[in-house]
C-alpha cells in the first residue's frame, strides 16, 4: 500500500522554527516529485512547496518563500520541510502529497503545527 | 486567498446529480490541467479527477470532470449519502509559479 506518514508537528512560539518529516512507503519514492500542502482546520487547502524527484528544482508559495525550505533524502524515503520565522498564520495541518504541478495522488494524514504565544 | 472560485455549497437528493464549478483564469485552468479532490472532515484529501477528466483507479464513473477555457466542472451522478464531503479543484498557475486550490464546495445529500 502506498503510504505517507508525517511527523514533527508541535506547538511553537511565534518566531520559532520547526522541521516536519514525511516518510514514504509502498512505492519508489525516488521516482516522484513531492509537495507539502497545508490546511487550517475547517478551511481550504493551501499548497506550500514542492520538490522534484532528485531535489534539483523546488517551488514555494509566496506566503512561505524565504522562510520555509523543502528537501528530501531518497535513501531514507523521506521528505522534509524546515520552517523558520513562524507566525500564527502558519498554524495548520501540514500534509505531504505525491506530485508537483499537475495533481496529487497520494496524501498523508497530516501533522498539526500550532504557532501561539 | 484562493485563486480558483467554487460555490460554497451544493445539495441534492439521493440519486440526483450535482455539478460543481471551478472558475479560474488563463494563467491557471486556461493553460494547465485541472484536478479534483474530495475530503471528508478530519481525513486526508483524496484524488478524484486528474488531467481534467481522468479518474484514478477505484473512482466510480459517477464522477466526471470537464474543462472549458478558464473554468472546470465536476459532476456527480447517482448521489449517495457517502458523497457528503468537501470538494476542491486545483491547477498550476503559471503567473504565480505555484499550485492553486479552489475555495472548496460542501456537498450535502
How far, in Å, are A55, A88, A99, A101, B31 from residue A74 at the CA level? 9, 32, 15, 20, 32
Render pLDDT for B16-67 as a digit per residue (tens, 0 to 9).
Answer: 999 999 999 999 999 999 999 999 988 999 999 999 999 999 999 999 999 9
Question: Which residues of chain A neighbour B44 with C-beta distances below 8 Å?
Answer: 95, 107-110
Rounded Cα distance between B1 and B105, Å, is: 15
List, as ranges, residues 2-41 from A with C-beta within 8 Å of B.
Answer: 35, 37
Enumerate the β-bridge partners of residue A71.
Answer: A80
Question: Which residues of chain A neighbour B101 with C-beta distances below 8 Å?
Answer: 37, 44-47
β-strand pairing of B85-93 with B98-101: antiparallel
Render pLDDT for B61-99 as a digit per residue (tens, 0 to 9).
Answer: 999 999 999 999 999 999 999 999 999 999 999 999 999
Amino acid at each position: 500500500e502506498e503510504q505517507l506518514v508525517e511527523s514533527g508537528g508541535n506547538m511553537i512560539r511565534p518566531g520559532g522554527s520547526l522541521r516536519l518529516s514525511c516518510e514514504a512507503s509502498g512505492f519508489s519514492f525516488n521516482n516522484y516529485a513531492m509537495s507539502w500542502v497545508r490546511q487550517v482546520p475547517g478551511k481550504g487547502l493551501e499548497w506550500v512547496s514542492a520538490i522534484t524527484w532528485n531535489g534539483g528544482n523546488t517551488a514555494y508559495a509566496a506566503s512561505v518563500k524565504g522562510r520555509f525550505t523543502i528537501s528530501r533524502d531518497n535513501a531514507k524515503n523521506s521528505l522534509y520541510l524546515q520552517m523558520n520565522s513562524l507566525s500564527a498564520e502558519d498554524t495548520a495541518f501540514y500534509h505531504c502529497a505525491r506530485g508537483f504541478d499537475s495533481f496529487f495522488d497520494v496524501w498523508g494524514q497530516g501533522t498539526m503545527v500550532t504557532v501561539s504565544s | 486567498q484562493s485563486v480558483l472560485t467554487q460555490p460554497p455549497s451544493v445539495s441534492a437528493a439521493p440519486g440526483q446529480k450535482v455539478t460543481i464549478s471551478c472558475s479560474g483564469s488563463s494563467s491557471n485552468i486556461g493553460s494547465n490541467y485541472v484536478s479534483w479532490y474530495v475530503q471528508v472532515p478530519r481525513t486526508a484529501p483524496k484524488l478524484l479527477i486528474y488531467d481534467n477528466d481522468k479518474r484514478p483507479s477505484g473512482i466510480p464513473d459517477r464522477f466526471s470532470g470537464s474543462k472549458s477555457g478558464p473554468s472546470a466542472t465536476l459532476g456527480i451522478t447517482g448521489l449517495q449519502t457517502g458523497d457528503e464531503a468537501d470538494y476542491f479543484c486545483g491547477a498550476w498557475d503559471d503567473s504565480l509559479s505555484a499550485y492553486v486550490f479552489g475555495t472548496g464546495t460542501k456537498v450535502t445529500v
